[in-house]
């Protein structure tokens, strides 16, 4: 007995047991197969249109009570009416299912162009046709075999999805896994070649950097603030992520950057050597100043005569009567100066009082408070008036003061610079490599704020610029220990380890993907070399930039790309075509109630030409 298949008006296929037909002559069989092929091609091409047309037809049937047939069935009936043969037997029917699905896959893109579909629809229908075809074959074949085995509509749909998605998807996953394994193998042997190590360290730097492109640009032009003060990659890049990596290596035991830190500290100290000079040299210069100006002083005070200090006292009285004299600081300063000057007539003694006033201006009345600045300015007027009084009693005194002040200026500068150096030097043991004491960046920054104005009064603009450059050089180094910087991936103190970052990078890119512990063994053999090259790159900004830019390491953590997503969509499309191309069939069994009326069956039999009883 054979199974005859008849498409009913509702679109379902009724299957009937019929006696086996006699074998056909070869010529007729070839003609029949050609007719079946033509049917499959026509049904496959019409399938997209018919599937879309089913939507309004079904809606009209439900809402308006019309009786539009299922559109794919209508196409099939039309082809039957045109004389094309119907498939007979399970094999022909399954082949027909697969053929229609393949034709549907190939015709989707051209038909969408004719129909004026949007570009993204055309792109979707025309992309990954191989994947779509494979899914369509699997879906149509699975659904057809399930139908022939007697499965209902739900079973056929499930079989189509499973047959269309899982086998193709499984192959892609397996292929991706093999690709990952091959890639991991390549990564695992990289540490044993120079170019491979360079690639890995470039990847570590790029992975650690917050912004690799900006960091690389900063590494190209590294500004030098202090001559012979080396700059590390973290300092030069200005990147917090790379700074975290450097600090991770710095904190993991023996500091690999201690040699650079010693060179930096020595270079800064040498700047102070040049600026401040030696204390003994300052003492010699001071003695020379006194010797050179002594004759002028002796000449001025050698023929001195007593003088009444009326001019400075009048100046004090005028200030105290003025509005500013009502200020407590000004009033206190004026009373103190008046008490010192009022009983003195000897010019040399007045000169000693002048020295006291000058010291007060640099001491107790020196500061940023408005009252102190006001008192200091009034004392300056008193000192100028006092100079005039001394000049009257000791002619030549002003010439002596001018020469003494000019000779004192470089000495005052050196003494101030020496004082600054002493204040910023740390009391701990000096650097064993160079013998220089380490300098404190916070202390120098605080001094350069110059709240009293002493630096601006005493030092030259060039000296202030050099001090500022030393401070910038120290601030750049101190930046790697800022609170917002931590080793890449670190949340605890235990994780602040550069070696840990390297280990995780190697594991992620190779060791974790190689089976049987091979990756772990290779990783342990290569970690030391990678750590050494990473530290070397962190010490040398130009090397780091070359690894970041010129070698162009592939550092992105590759995931399934857009292509993978497109292939998945292609699988779904292929599966849909495969399942939609397979009509749901109903087996009419004499032992079970027939779901169709005699009239339904008669119409179907009449429409099915060529059926042999």
Collapsing DSSP to helix, strand or coil, 434 comes out as coil
Count of residues in the chain? 613
Classify residue 311 as exposed, middle or buried by CB count within 10 Å of its CB (0-12, 13-18, 19+): middle
pLDDT surpasses 70 at 387: yes
- In sequence order, what E strands does 52-98 have? none
- Res. 225 pLDDT band, cuts 50 70 90: very high
pLDDT surpasses 70 at 613: no
Q: What is the pLDDT of residue 511?
A: 44
Q: What is the pLDDT of residue 378?
A: 92
Give CA–CA dist 147/155, Å, rounded. Answer: 8
Q: What is the pLDDT of residue 421?
A: 92
Give CA–CA dist 413/206, Å, rounded. Answer: 47
pLDDT surpasses 70 at 149: yes
Residues 461-510: tens digit of each pLDDT: 999 999 999 999 999 888 776 544 444 444 433 334 545 554 555 445 44
Q: What is the pLDDT of residue 49?
A: 72
Report, as an integer, the average pLDDT of 428-438: 88
Q: What is the 3-state secondary structure (H, E, C) of 261-304?
A: HHHHHHHHHHHHHHHHCCHHHHHHHHHHHHHHHHHHHHHHHHCC
pLDDT surpasses 70 at 552: no
329-343, 431-445, 551-565: segment of lowest average pLDDT: 551-565
Q: What is the pLDDT of residue 384?
A: 92
- Res. 330 pLDDT band, cuts 50 70 90: very high
Residues 96-135: tens digit of each pLDDT: 777 777 666 666 656 656 656 666 566 666 666 677 777 7
149 vs 582, 584, 587, 589, CA distance in Å?
A: 14, 12, 10, 14
The residues near 519 (Cβ < 8 Å, ≥ 6 apart) are: 184, 188, 507, 510, 511, 512, 513
Helix intervals (H) in 86-152: 89-115, 119-126, 129-148
Q: Which residue has the higher pLDDT, 341 or 54?
A: 341
Q: Which residue has the higher pLDDT, 484 or 421?
A: 421
Sheet holding 2-7, edge to edge: 2-7, 13-18, 585-587
The residues near 103 (Cβ < 8 Å, ≥ 6 apart) are: 40, 41, 43, 44, 45, 47
Residues 165-208: tens digit of each pLDDT: 656 555 444 444 444 444 444 444 445 467 767 777 888 888 88
Contact between 569 and 165 under an 8 Å Cβ cutoff? The reply is no
Q: What is the pLDDT of residue 520?
A: 47
20-34, 249-263, 382-396: segment of lowest average pLDDT: 20-34
């Amino acid at each position: 007995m054979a199974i005859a298949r008849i498409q009913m008006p509702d679109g379902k296929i009724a299957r009937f047991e019929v006696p086996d037909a006699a074998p056909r002559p070869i010529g007729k069989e070839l003609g029949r197969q050609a007719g079946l092929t033509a049917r499959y091609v026509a049904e496959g091409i019409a399938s997209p249109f018919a599937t879309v047309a089913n939507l309004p037809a079904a809606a009209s049937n439900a809402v308006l009570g019309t009786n539009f047939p299922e559109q794919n069935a209508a196409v099939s009936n039309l082809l039957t009416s045109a004389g094309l043969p119907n498939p007979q037997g399970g094999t022909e029917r399954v082949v027909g299912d697969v053929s229609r699905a393949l034709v549907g896959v190939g015709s989707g893109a051209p038909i969408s162009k004719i129909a004026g579909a949007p570009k993204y629809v055309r792109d979707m229908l025309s992309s990954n046709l191989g994947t779509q075809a494979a899914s369509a074959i699997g879906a149509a074949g699975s659904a057809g075999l399930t139908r022939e085995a007697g499965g209902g509509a739900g079973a056929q749909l499930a079989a189509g999805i499973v047959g269309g998605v899982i086998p193709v998807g499984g192959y892609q996953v397996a292929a991706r896994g093999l690709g990952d394994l091959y890639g991991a193998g390549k990564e695992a042997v990289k540490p044993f070649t120079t170019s491979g190590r360079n690639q890995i360290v470039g990847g570590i730097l790029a992975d650690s950097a917050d912004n690799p492109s900006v960091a690389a640009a900063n590494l190209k032009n590294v500004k030098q603030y202090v001559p012979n003060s080396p700059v590390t990659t973290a300092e030069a890049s200005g990147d917090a992520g790379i700074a975290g990596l450097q600090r991770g290596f710095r904190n993991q035991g023996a500091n690999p950057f201690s040699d650079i830190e010693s060179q930096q500290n020595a270079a800064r100290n040498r700047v102070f050597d040049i600026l401040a000079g030696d204390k003994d040299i300052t003492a010699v210069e001071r003695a020379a100043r006194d010797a050179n100006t002594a004759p002028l002083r002796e000449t001025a005070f050698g023929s001195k005569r007593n003088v009444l200090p009326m001019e400075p006292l009048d100046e004090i009285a005028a200030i105290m009567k003025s509005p500013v004299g009502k200020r407590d600081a000004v009033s206190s300063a004026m009373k103190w100066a008046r008490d010192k000057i009022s009983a003195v007539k000897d010019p040399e003694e007045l000169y000693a009082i002048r020295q006291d006033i000058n010291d007060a201006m640099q001491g107790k009345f020196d500061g940023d408070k408005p009252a102190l600045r006001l008192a200091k300015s009034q004392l300056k007027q008193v000192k100028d008036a006092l100079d005039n009084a001394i000049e009257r009693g000791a002619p030549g005194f002003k010439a002596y003061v001018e020469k003494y002040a000019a000779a004192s200026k470089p000495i005052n500068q050196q003494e101030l610079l020496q004082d600054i150096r002493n204040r910023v030097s740390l009391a701990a043991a000096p650097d064993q490599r160079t013998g220089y004491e380490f300098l404190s960046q916070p202390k120098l920054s605080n001094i350069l704020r110059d709240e009293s104005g002493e630096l601006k009064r005493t030092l030259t603009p060039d000296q202030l610029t050099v001090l500022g450059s030393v401070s910038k050089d120290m601030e750049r180094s101190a930046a790697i220990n800022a609170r917002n910087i931590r080793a890449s991936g670190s949340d605890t103190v235990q994780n602040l380890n550069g070696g840990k970052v390297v280990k995780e990078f190697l594991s992620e890119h190779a060791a974790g993907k190689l089976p049987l512990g091979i990756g772990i063994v290779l990783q342990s053999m290569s970690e030391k070399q990678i750590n050494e090259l990473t530290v070397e790159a962190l010490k040398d900004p130009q090397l780091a930039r070359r690894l970041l830019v010129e070698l162009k390491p592939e550092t992105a953590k590759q995931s399934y790309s857009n292509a993978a997503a497109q292939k998945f969509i292609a699988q779904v499309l292929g599966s849909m075509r495969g399942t939609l191309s397979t009509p749901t069939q109903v087996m009419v069994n004499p032992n079970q109630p027939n779901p169709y009326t005699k009239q339904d069956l008669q119409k179907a039999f009449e429409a099915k030409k060529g059926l042999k009883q």
